[in-house]
Chain A
Amino acid sequence: MAEVLSKGVLLAFLSVALGLSAMAKAEGVGDFVQPSSKAASVENCVEPTEYMRRNHFELIRHQRDETVYGGIRGAKHSLSGCVSCHVGYDSQGTPLEIDAEGQFCSSCHDYAAVEMNCFDCHATVPKGEAWNHEVAAVHAHPTGAAPLAATSAER
């Protein structure tokens, strides 16, 4: 937790610095949204962009505990939401790993030299997310009535 905390603090400092420099250089820096991603086509992130630049980690971390301890999934601030919206695609429509060089997460994190270890464990492309997201609603069953057909697994 403290590691995360200290990283958060570090990140906050850096993002302030980044924000300032972004202001200086006007629009150029900080616009790392991939043109091929869903995010490119929407007006805003889940919160105002400036706010997200500085505070995304706080939001993600807060949601992380909600999910792990409280079982609240697929919420507005969940990391899997970030990935599914911000992941870029190649010309064949295959998703590109979000932490790959030049992609959304790493282009900024590399620029700010902030280490990121979410993706030690988390998926870098939307993958088998059926149970986290919109799709899940389709599979939802009323309490107690377990479905007979195998709802499991990757399709």
Chain B
Amino acid sequence: MKNESEPTNQGRRDFLGAAAGLTAAAVAPGMMLHTVDSEAAAPTGGVSDAHRWGLLVDTSKCADGCTACVDACDQENGLNLQSQPLGDDELKWQNQRATWIRKVKLQDNLTGQVTNLPLMCQHCEHPPCVDVCPTGASFKRADGIVMVDRHTCIGCRYCMMACPYKARSFIHEQVDQKLTRAPRGKGCVESCNLCAHRLDTGDISTACADACSAEGHQALVFGDLKDPTGPLRQALAKKPNRQIRQDLGLNTGVRYAGI
């Protein structure tokens, strides 16, 4: 399967890449504006491409029925503050509410073996969501985190069409309650941002990985893909792992062992 579709998709990538290159030239000066002058006393020096944040999911450790990571994410990002609009259908609401991370249970068609895993934005190196976004609201930070600039998102949902992982959610309802660290509002698209607010304050962790460890499962390892001695790279070296839809050649930042 991999061999079959790689060339086409890569060709398409190259085409888009070339187009993107042209843009980059035009946009780069603008981007610079964002990174210079940080007179502000920030807890960290800001985002840099010295890091690329990622996760390793060890599916063999992911427990059936456990939702610690999902609950932690909801709490961390204020997603637990969502409330079903009056009059909305219960099942429909579950498909409309924002979900940044979800538990997925798979069964091997041949062996019947069951696998559990958490699925979130895979923080692609070549993110289709960023390629398609008409306004550039979907973007990739220098440290590899893919997120939405909610100030420019027009809510066209094209990124949701493009994401191969169903990682993104559209905010379907008015948002009454939100946290200071995680602003969110009706009409924009959002997805996992690897707890960027933590990283930016120097806390190298994510809510999901912390929660998984606290439960004693250790199925999630968060860290820097560029740091050869860091916990993530060490974990990656120990276990054979792959990307979901590796055939698409997106080089995701989230890797899975045991699928």
Contact = CB atoms under 8 A, between A and B. Distances in A.
A68 B40 contact: no
A154 B34 contact: no
Contacts of B105: none
Contacts of B183: 121-123
Contact of B47 (A4, A63, A69, A120): A69
Which of A76, A84, A132, A150 has most B Cβ within 10 Å? A150
A134 to B, nearest CB: 10
Given A80-B180, A128-B181, A146-B205, A151 B210 contact: yes
Interface residues of A, number: 49
A132 B40 contact: no
Contacts of B72: 150, 152-153
- The B interface, classified by DSSP as helix, strand, loop or mixed, is loop
Contacts of A83: 180
A147 B195 CA distance: 14
A127 B80 CA distance: 14
Contacts of A141: 202-205
A122 to B, nearest CB: 5
B76 A126 contact: no
A72 B200 contact: yes
A72 B178 contact: no
B39 interface: yes
Interface of A: 1, 4, 63-78, 80, 83-84, 120-123, 126-132, 136-137, 139-141, 143-154
